[in-house]
Chain A
């Protein structure tokens, strides 16, 4: 009996490593079990081509991974992602602007980055590869949000700040010298536009400048801030701080619109698209560095000409020196998918974003990494220094768990003063009441 027991123990002892190896093998095969990742992003034909190529390369290197890349109109993707989350069927990877992504992030729907799996020693090592503060909006610094101190939840596909693109030919045609007469203040923007504008009766056929209607938190709120206003006070209790600043900024919009000096408006064709056509339709518009790639694709002759330039974001006379806010398109990973898929998804995102120079060169998307900003490609891009210098006097766009709703309320206020003849003071009173209700509800 003793012999038999001894034999069993010996066999067991000898075969243990075999089983251990077996379990290691099975763990390895579990790691390599097929993974399907879905990626939803907004339309950008040049980027799509490049990222689909990255996906193909990644799948070739990792045969167990299948990546389904889908593109949606930028006006619809936010609603689609929210609905997909509600149905617990959200994509593995997606990207949105910070102010649109933030509510999803604060709702705990985004997975933290497994930094070690991406080859970093810790979170700080990853942060150090970016310009200062670039990952702050998606870092749970003190662990108050999710109890995971220092974890990072997004990687920026791009960081954007808007400056003004200017058509020199139209300036000259209006008797202006673009190098001297370009607008430095918002008052100049209006005055210059009055000189450039052409109309057939009431209908504008050539605009001097026009706004980016819709993206108000990014492109219009800085005007309010220059006048001393704020969306929400620093202690997070008061909404629409300094109503006089808001009234003045809204008065500017009313004067700008069809019921004022009739210099432009939200129902005219989108300014940045007609600018690229270079058909004497608009002299100035607001956009990011990425617009250069779009211009290069849609109208290479104009892009290669010396007929355009980029100027800094204007400031109200006597106002604070604040440039256009910067915002991010963050790639994020769905926290509702299994953990092994989350890791694989982050690995793929990191793989795509490791091509920072390609993103810049081919689609003019600026990843806010030190490598990209210090690289030759960035420095060689036309007017990249204008964008870079404006960045120094800018801050990140307002973001909160209800930031997109705030944007919609500001949109309503601007539409009311520009098109419905509502007095700016009345529009601000309603805006303050509505945003305050949101602040109180979410505190």
Chain B
């Protein structure tokens, strides 16, 4: 009787907690429904219609025509190439470099907070401001050329940071790397400081060297952090827009850095073709979803417990 009453009471408390849980979650659900789910569903619907963005004429259903057009378009495949080049060229160095910098900062000990602050500061700038700063740096008479000339002991060598098809891709990667390296470093620092010191002490007693401690303890135990950093970094890279947009507005050639998001923007706002822009949005969304699921599965296959 007493146990039954206790059980009922517990269930009652759980129900109240669950109800409060819903109250807290509802604003987020409403927010995401309006600003994420609705646009996704709307874009999916529009991808089957011929719709001029500014025309008052109602959209006309055209089935898979937009998908066929986009998938046969060389411009779209150039955008896929540009996005993949940028993502691979930025995301891999970002993950590796942020881990290395995080280790150096945590090992250093002194001025720990100052280094964190220094590395993190570019992340608080808006992407547009970051791109504007770097555009000045990359102009032919800017600091980037002066820096390279000083390093190589040359004079007047133009690296053509913005005016060469190859270099402009590297330039966009540099901007992104500079902007986000601090953010991911902070994430890694958090992961490293969460690893209990006793594990390292035990390893030291067992005679493990520093490199052994890193490869056998730090790296495996940082797996959840690495998964988080790599997913976030990859998604950020796939969604890159501001740097490429501002660079092309300022004279840089569009084709080499015409990433999918920039193509979507121009298709919708310059061509007014909302249907085709929606197709590209949906394809990008599906790609991001699949890559995230794969990464999550890979990272969950060997969870870390202390």
Contact = CB atoms under 8 A, between A and B. Distances in A.
A266 B168 CA distance: 13
A103 B272 contact: yes
Contacts, number: 96
Q: How large is the interface on A (under 10, 10 to 19, 20 to 34, 35 or more residues)?
A: 35 or more
B139 A258 contact: no
A436 interface: no
B56 interface: yes
B140 A268 contact: yes
Interface stretch (B10-18, B86-94, B251-259, B282-290): B251-259
B54 A109 contact: yes
A416 B55 CA distance: 32
Given A83-B269, A204-B140, A405-B271, A258 B158 contact: yes
Contact of A201 (B156, B163, B269): B156
A269 interface: yes
A82 interface: yes
A203 B56 contact: no
Contact of B255 (A203, A258, A267, A420): A420
Interface stretch (A242-250, A373-381, A407-415): A407-415
Given A82-B54, A201-B154, A201-B158, A415 B272 contact: no
B145 interface: yes
A85 interface: yes
A82 B56 CA distance: 12
B85 interface: no
B106 interface: no
A309 interface: no
Contacts of B266: 408
B165 interface: yes
B250 interface: yes
A203 B254 contact: no
B269 A79 contact: yes
B54 A265 contact: no
A420 B272 CA distance: 27
A185 B4 CA distance: 100
B157 interface: yes
Interface string B233-262: 000000000000000011111111000000
B52 A107 contact: yes
A379 B79 CA distance: 52
Contacts of B121: none
A411 B254 contact: yes
A420 B270 contact: no
A82 B253 contact: no
Contacts of B164: 258, 419
B53 interface: yes
Contacts of A82: 53-54, 269, 272
A83 B270 CA distance: 10
B251 A265 contact: yes
A285 B158 CA distance: 23
Interface in B29-66: 52-56
B141 interface: yes
A416 B253 CA distance: 7
Interface in A79-99: 79, 82-83, 85-86
B81 interface: no
A61 interface: no
A404 interface: yes
A108 B56 contact: yes
A234 interface: no
B156 A199 contact: yes
A266 B163 contact: yes
A203 B163 contact: no
A276 to B, nearest CB: 18
Interface of B: 52-56, 138-141, 145, 154-158, 160, 162-165, 249-256, 266, 269-272, 274
Query: Nearest 10 A-B pairs (CB), nearest first?
Result: A201-B156, A266-B251, A202-B158, A200-B156, A415-B253, A267-B162, A420-B165, A267-B163, A267-B251, A419-B253
Given A205-B141, A268-B139, 6 more contacts: A86-B53, A213-B251, A266-B250, A411-B254, A415-B253, A420-B255
29 contacts: A79-B270, A82-B53, A85-B53, A85-B54, A86-B274, A108-B55, A200-B156, A201-B158, A202-B156, A202-B157, A203-B140, A203-B145, A203-B158, A213-B251, A258-B158, A265-B163, A267-B162, A267-B163, A267-B251, A268-B139, A408-B266, A412-B254, A415-B253, A415-B254, A415-B255, A416-B255, A419-B163, A419-B164, A420-B165
Interface of A: 75, 79, 82-83, 85-86, 103-104, 107-109, 199-205, 213-214, 257-258, 265-269, 402, 404-405, 408, 411-412, 415-416, 418-421
